[in-house]
Amino acid sequence: MQQRARLKTIDCFRANEHVILVATDVAARGLDIPGVRTVVHYQLPHSAKVYVHKSGRNARASSDGCSIALISPNDSAKFASPCKSFAEESIRHFPLESSYMPEVMKRLALARQIDKISRKDSQERATKSWLEQSTESLELVVENDDSEEEQVKNFKQKKASSSHLKKLQQELNGLLSLPLRLKTFSHRYPTAVSS
């Protein structure tokens, strides 16, 4: 993103009350945006100092704020090291209901499939575009070595891939439109949910 676009994004973020700004580690220092109430760390901070700088976006002039770190079980040991420099009561663990996880994992698996297919398609388009631009700039004439059968086969594969991608996206959108339900939920006895 160019500097002008960055500044425009920051101005839009400052001007609106209910907005989300997604930023890389560049935002750990140098951004001074008053009124930020919540910072969510979706990547593990490397040190307590980086965590404090990133979280400091929401703690200006002794105002209250919330800093949330999304930590997987695999990263919990790494996260414990920077947290040793903080007071025990300042970091609270958010309780996670594990009964939701099968439903969450279904959604996550679909999202990963969609991402994999989308990235592959995007990479193929970028490669094709680069080849076309390169041959055009060099004024080369490139003949297509693929036979008609191969071209038809490639077209059918792309069409099937596109259809599969749309189907996966519809399935994911359907799941995302439904609320997460506890695995042990009983429609017959809704108050008898076990924990």
Domain CATH number, residue 75: 3.40.50.300
Convert 92-131 to b/e letters by CB count within 10 Å (16 or more is b). eeeeeeebeeebeeeeeebeebbeebeeeeeeeeeeeeee
- 12 in the same domain as 77: yes
Q: Which residues pair with 66 in a beta bridge?
A: 38
What pLDDT sits at residue 107? 94
Average pLDDT of span 162-189: 83
Cβ-in-10-Å burial (0-12, 13-18, 19+) of 54 comes to buried
Average pLDDT of span 61-85: 75
Token readout for 158 is: 């792309």
Contact of 91 with 67, CB cutoff 8 Å? no
CA–CA gap between residue 7 and residue 120 (Å, rounded): 32
Contact of 48 with 90, CB cutoff 8 Å? no
Average pLDDT of span 12-19: 83
More confident residue, 132 or 195: 132
- Domain-embedded: residue 97: no
- 86 in the same domain as 8: yes
- 115 in the same domain as 62: no
- 74 in the same domain as 10: yes
- Domain-embedded: residue 186: no
- 170 in the same domain as 140: yes
- 122 in the same domain as 82: no
What pLDDT sits at residue 115? 93
How many CB atoms lie under 10 A from the CB of residue 171? 15
Contact of 79 with 44, CB cutoff 8 Å? yes
CA–CA gap between residue 121 and residue 161 (Å, rounded): 9
Domain that residue 117 falls in:
111-177
- 45 in the same domain as 119: no
Q: Is the pLDDT of residue 61 over 60?
A: no
CA–CA gap between residue 64 and residue 53 (Å, rounded): 15
- Domain-embedded: residue 60: yes
User: Which positions ≥6 away from 102 have C-beta within 8 Å?
Assistant: 183
What pLDDT sits at residue 26? 66
What pLDDT sits at residue 34? 74
- Domain-embedded: residue 184: no
- 158 in the same domain as 115: yes
CA–CA gap between residue 33 and residue 60 (Å, rounded): 9
Return the amino acid letter for 89.
E
Domain count for the chain: 2
pTM: 0.53
What pLDDT sits at residue 97? 75
Which of 90, 120, 144 lies at the terminal end of a domain, its last residue?
A: 90
Listed in sequence order, the DSSP H helices in the chain are 3-15, 48-55, 76-83, 101-137, 148-177
- 117 in the same domain as 83: no
Q: Is the pLDDT of residue 85 over 50?
A: yes
